[in-house]
Structure 1
Amino acid sequence: MNYLSIFSLLVFSALSYANNSLPDNRHISIVGTAKLQAKPDIAVIKFEVESLKATSIGAKKDIDNRVNNFLEGLVTFNINEDNVSASRITTQPSYSYSDDDKQQLEGYIANRSIKVTLHDIKRLNAFLDFALTVKIDEIKSIELKSSDEEPLKQKVRAMAVNNAKEKASSLANAFGAKLGQIYSINSTSNEHFNRYGANNNIERIEVTGSRSSEAVRPGKYLQENIVFSASISVVFDLEVNRTTSNQN
């Protein structure tokens, strides 16, 4: 073996050692996981309001009037200004095309988005009915959340840590060893997602037409569970029981 080959081998070995996150002594690598379910108690609703008028100012005034009626009624649902975002508005011309493909100006469209946080989730259906009554055109989305999101994230993270300790201790004991000090905590993740039982669809809004002979009933919404999950990867040193080692 020439000197170049020896040098290359030494460099490769050094790099391999530097990139290795595991200790040279006895160790155990464990991933602890945990999940925690919670019921939502907050609804974040996004609305869209749109108006088509002959002039841009006419469309804007129509939008402003409807949004003002909506904002004035929020006090009925104990919603204050801190829980409302309704600042963005856009206007643009609207065109149509004739049979001979000529562009014609139909008017001007004004569009405004509204975001509201409702802290009394039991009043969600009544709140949506109110919004549609004051001519808010579209319910864009409904996101159900928990007011205890941060405490629940901390709790599920602590559960994942305990899960890692329990797994590591159980495996170490099974092999006649015990856990030593923590060598490294490689990675952690914390997330949450919504689950609707066995149904993968989002909330459904039941609409009854005025021509229907059936009595109008309140809309029903699927009960949603929020699942918080966490995982943590830990490497522990292992201390071998000398008595057990000598017997072997």
Structure 2
Amino acid sequence: MLRLLTALLICCFPVAVQASSLPSFPFVTVSGESERGVMPDEAVITFQIVTFHEKSENASAQLNRTTRQALEVFADHNIPDRAITSYEISKNEVRERDSSYNQLGIIGYQFRRNFQVEIADLDKYSAIVLALLDIDYLTFQQSSFDSSQRQEVELELIAEAAAAAKQKAEQMAQGLGVTIDSVFAFNDTGSFEEFFATFGLNRAVYADMQQMRTSAPPPSVDQELFIPESIRIYKRVNVIYKVQP
């Protein structure tokens, strides 16, 4: 599905500038968007282990036991060690508080460690998550899904979005009786605001020009504890074309 966002900017249009002037030639700006639903084939899960005991050695020992349980789950499903990232262990004193929330004496120690695991085979996802949920002291945090073909898909989407932007620019130029000359600037990550910042265009003026366009934020992927049938990959291309009167 393609959606096109357009805006026409003429260099003689009165604008407020800050550091420098706008380009000294007529130009037109266009945006092309493209998105595609792709079946996910990999996931990343994150979880943390939190233990508490009045003695540090007991809390630490429980953290180690729970960590071994989690690692056994991954070993049982042939998840390689390189796919498992463990973060630094944190240790905090836990103090008793009075009715005014003033800290009193130490009542114990809390140990915490975060983990991130990449699952390249989604057939293993459900069994791994269910096994982790059965482990005491382990809190499951999040699953995110992706496609191993993302880079290839994004390249195709960029090409589609760029083609759509060019087609729209040509249609606008024809309707206005001008000719598209050449590409002056483009990007696929930022917005026209970054472009015009180079020429000192006032942010308020840019906001006014934005009202001439219909825009929508990039689609997002809801991250739930189930495997979605598809994920949406989105690309947007912003292009500034020089025009000949």
TM value normalised by structure 2? 0.69
User: What letter corresponds to residue 224 of structure 2 in structure 1?
Assistant: E
* Count of matched residue pairs: 202
What does the per-residue CA deviation read over 1:124-150, in whole Å, with 9 as the maximum and x for residues that have no partner?
221111112333521112222222222
Describe the shift of the 1:233–1:102 C-alpha distance in structure 2 as closer, same or farther (beyond 3 A).
Answer: closer
User: What letter corresponds to residue 40 of structure 2 in structure 1?
Assistant: P
Describe the shift of the 1:224–1:135 C-alpha distance in structure 2 as closer, same or farther (beyond 3 A).
Answer: farther
| Kept in 2: contact 1:83–1:116 (CA 8 A) | yes
CA root-mean-square deviation = 3.2
| Kept in 2: contact 1:194–1:226 (CA 8 A) | yes
| Kept in 1: contact 2:180–2:241 (CA 8 A) | no
| Kept in 2: contact 1:52–1:110 (CA 8 A) | yes
Report what 2:207 is aligned to: none
Q: CA deviation at 1:187?
A: 4.1
Report what 2:120 is aligned to: 119
In 2, the alpha carbon distance for the partners of 1:37 and 1:222 equals: 11
Unaligned runs of 5+ in 2: 1-16, 191-216
Report what 1:63 is aligned to: 63
Report what 2:220 is aligned to: 194
Max radius of gyration: which structure?
1
Three-state SS of the structure 1 residue aligned to 2:87 is coil
In 2, the alpha carbon distance for the partners of 1:150 and 1:30 equals: 24
User: What letter corresponds to residue 20 of structure 1 in structure 2?
Assistant: L
| Kept in 2: contact 1:56–1:92 (CA 8 A) | no
Describe the shift of the 1:160–1:222 C-alpha distance in structure 2 as closer, same or farther (beyond 3 A).
Answer: closer
In 2, the alpha carbon distance for the partners of 1:111 and 1:27 equals: 56
Q: CA deviation at 1:102?
A: 7.7
In 2, the alpha carbon distance for the partners of 1:33 and 1:141 equals: 29
1:235 equivalenced with 2:241 (yes/no): yes
1:19 equivalenced with 2:38 (yes/no): no
Of the two structures, which has the highest relative contact order with CA contacts closer than 8 Å and spacing of 6 or more?
2
| Kept in 1: contact 2:53–2:110 (CA 8 A) | yes
| Kept in 2: contact 1:41–1:119 (CA 8 A) | yes
User: What letter corresponds to residue 125 of structure 2 in structure 1?
Assistant: L
Three-state SS of the structure 2 residue aligned to 1:172 is helix
What does the per-residue CA deviation read over 1:157-203, in whole Å, with 9 as the maximum and x for residues that have no partner?
22221111111223334456653333x0144327965345xxxxx52
Q: CA deviation at 1:64?
A: 0.9
TM value normalised by structure 1? 0.68
Q: CA deviation at 1:60?
A: 1.0
Aligned ranges for residues 49-88 of structure 1 at < 5 Å?
Answer: 49-88=49-88
User: What letter corresponds to residue 137 of structure 1 in structure 2?
Assistant: L
Report what 2:182 is aligned to: 181
1:203 equivalenced with 2:224 (yes/no): yes
